[in-house]
Amino acid sequence: MPYDIFFTDLSEEKKEGEEKKEEPINDKNPLWQRKAQDITPEEYNEFYKKVFSDYKDPLFSIHINADYPLNFKGILYFPKISHEYDNMEGQVKLYYNQVFVADNIKEVIPEYMLMLKGVLDCPELPLNVSRSYLQTNGYVNKISAHIVKKIGDKLASLFNLEREKYEGFWDDIKPFVEYGCLRDEKFFTRVKDIVLFKTTEGNYITLKEYAESENFDKTVYYSDDVIRQSRYISLFKNENIKVVVLDKLIDANFISMLEQKLSESEEYKDIKFVRVDSGLSGKLKKEDSQKVSEEKLKTLTALFQKAIGADEKFNLSCESLKDSEIPAILNISEQSRRFSDMMKMYGGGANMPMPIEETLVLNLTNPLVEKISVKLEENPNDELNSALAKQVYMLALVAQRQLSADELKNFISDSVSLYNQL
């Protein structure tokens, strides 16, 4: 409060001749009333810890000093979230000319930033403010819009002036920034150029920086499971093609929205996001790739169909990859997989799995595939051809997803049986 408040213990006896100097117990000049340039980072952190009883320093603070026509002041903090099980509910205390009014007013904060903590001093709000008043008042809506602007400005400032610091807490704020982009067009416009993507090597880059990287082919390749998709990632890494990590549930919705926005832009209209197991960059193929005749492709397709018990919809293609160690990879259609994932997320495909388009890509530069091709010409009816074909398929399947209990059991059994035939 703006007036000195003293606490006197009347039970204490004052000694004769003793002059006891009393100190006020309140701060007449709270942090939000001071100029931002006069406040140190340590003071911001100390104020945060004292007001919100948090032992961790916040990620960053936003000092607000809005003049006409809004006229309000405050300090907002983005708290440090240690892990996904932390309480992410924020708290914004409301004051009226330094007089405490309410402990938490969520109505002035956009829903996608409800984890924010802070204090707001709004002299134009009544002291007996009610929830219904906050929800319908135009002044409150303007405060919320101003806060969104200040958040966007703060993030842009950190990105431009303190990039290393910005990257340091990007993982903490990423889900909220992405959700904000999905929910608020104006917020997306403010932050779209400073959204970061973390690569599989641990670096952070913007979409523009990705597009300017070596071997960019109008496609942003991503992984949603770095461990499971490590074999695919190594293919791209060998050719110096960056792969970004998008392993959160919100990422799928975010990149779909981003693709739509990019299609409306002249500079990035042709850019698509493709998971590493959903598309083969031309950079992964040999320039003098040999072509397979249509007749031979039919023969190989028939062999693999029979070996793995696939139906007529089974797709097979042949490519000459630069990496000769991989006999085959299993490519999943990006569009059909996204649709299937969406159906599962919203419960529509829980009991009735959606079909996903798969293509087995044989690597013609691999010795095992070459051996199968030669043996197939020498003796088309040799059972070893079928066993080798199934082994190639299963190796591709292992690299694409986790095997079921029965698949793993059969894979081990077939492997032992195949080794005995060689």
Higher pLDDT, 27 or 404: 404
CB-based burial label for 372 (10 Å; 0-12, 13-18, 19+): buried
* pLDDT tens digits for range 222-270: 999 999 999 999 999 999 999 999 999 899 999 999 999 998 888 888 8
Is 418 part of any domain?
A: yes
The pLDDT-based confidence of 354 (bands split at 50, 70, 90) is low
Is 67 part of any domain?
A: yes
The pLDDT-based confidence of 310 (bands split at 50, 70, 90) is confident
Q: Are 153 and 71 in contact (CB under 8 A)?
A: no
Q: Which domain holds residue 149?
A: 31-161
* Total Cβ atoms within 10 A of residue 159: 19
Express as a percent the part of the chain with pLDDT over 70. 91
Of 250, 248, 227, 224, nearest to 402 by C-alpha is 227
Residue 288 in this model has a pLDDT that exceeds 60: yes
Higher pLDDT, 85 or 120: 120
The pLDDT-based confidence of 375 (bands split at 50, 70, 90) is confident
How would you classify the pairing of strands 99-102 and 91-96?
A: antiparallel
pLDDT attached to residue 82? 66
Is 148 part of any domain?
A: yes
Q: What is the CATH number of the domain that holds 114?
A: 3.30.230.80
Is 348 part of any domain?
A: no
pLDDT attached to residue 291? 78
pLDDT attached to residue 420? 80
Last residue of one domain, picked from the residues 161, 193, 209 = 161
Last residue of one domain, picked from the residues 145, 161, 177 = 161
Is 302 part of any domain?
A: yes
Higher pLDDT, 338 or 12: 338
Higher pLDDT, 267 or 136: 267
CA distances in angstroms from 412 to 248, 303, 398, listed in the order given: 33, 21, 12
* pLDDT tens digits for range 81-115: 765 555 567 899 999 888 888 888 888 888 888 88
Mean pLDDT of 120-127: 83
Is 210 part of any domain?
A: no
Q: What is the CATH number of the domain that holds 382?
A: 1.20.120.790
Last residue of one domain, picked from the residues 104, 130, 161 = 161
* pLDDT tens digits for range 143-161: 889 999 999 999 999 999 9
Is 301 part of any domain?
A: yes
pLDDT attached to residue 352? 56
Number of domains present in the structure of the chain:
2
Is 179 part of any domain?
A: no
How would you classify the pairing of strands 91-96 and 117-121?
A: parallel
* Total Cβ atoms within 10 A of residue 142: 15
The pLDDT-based confidence of 343 (bands split at 50, 70, 90) is confident
Q: Which of 26-40, 150-164, 254-268, 304-318 has the highest mean pLDDT?
A: 150-164
pLDDT attached to residue 380? 79
pLDDT attached to residue 14? 61
pLDDT attached to residue 18? 65
* pLDDT tens digits for range 52-90: 988 889 999 999 998 877 889 999 999 987 655 555 678
Per-residue HEC secondary structure of the chain comes to CCCCCCCCCCCCCCCCCCCCCCCCCCCCCCHHHCCHHHCCHHHHHHHHHHHHCCCCCCCEEEEEEECCCCCEEEEEEECCCCCCCCCCCCEEEEEECCEEEECCCHHHCCHHHCCCEEEEECCCCCCCCCHHHHHHCHHHHHHHHHHHHHHHHHHHHHHHHCHHHHHHCHHHHHHHHHHHHHHCHHHHHHHHHHCCEEECCCCEECHHHHHCCCCCCCEEEEECCCCCCHHHHHHHHHCCCCEEECCCHHHHHHHHHHHHHHHCCCCCCCCEEEECCCCCCHHHECCCCCCCCHHHHHHHHHHHHHHHCCCCCCEEEEECECCCCCCEEEEECHHHHHHHHHHHHCCCCCCCCCCCCEEEEEECCCHHHHHHHHHHHHCCCCHHHHHHHHHHHHHHHHHHCCCCHHHHHHHHHHHHHHHHHC
Q: Are 72 and 124 in contact (CB under 8 A)?
A: yes
* Total Cβ atoms within 10 A of residue 107: 19
Q: What is the mean pLDDT of the chain?
A: 87
pLDDT attached to residue 13? 61
pTM (2 d.p.): 0.85
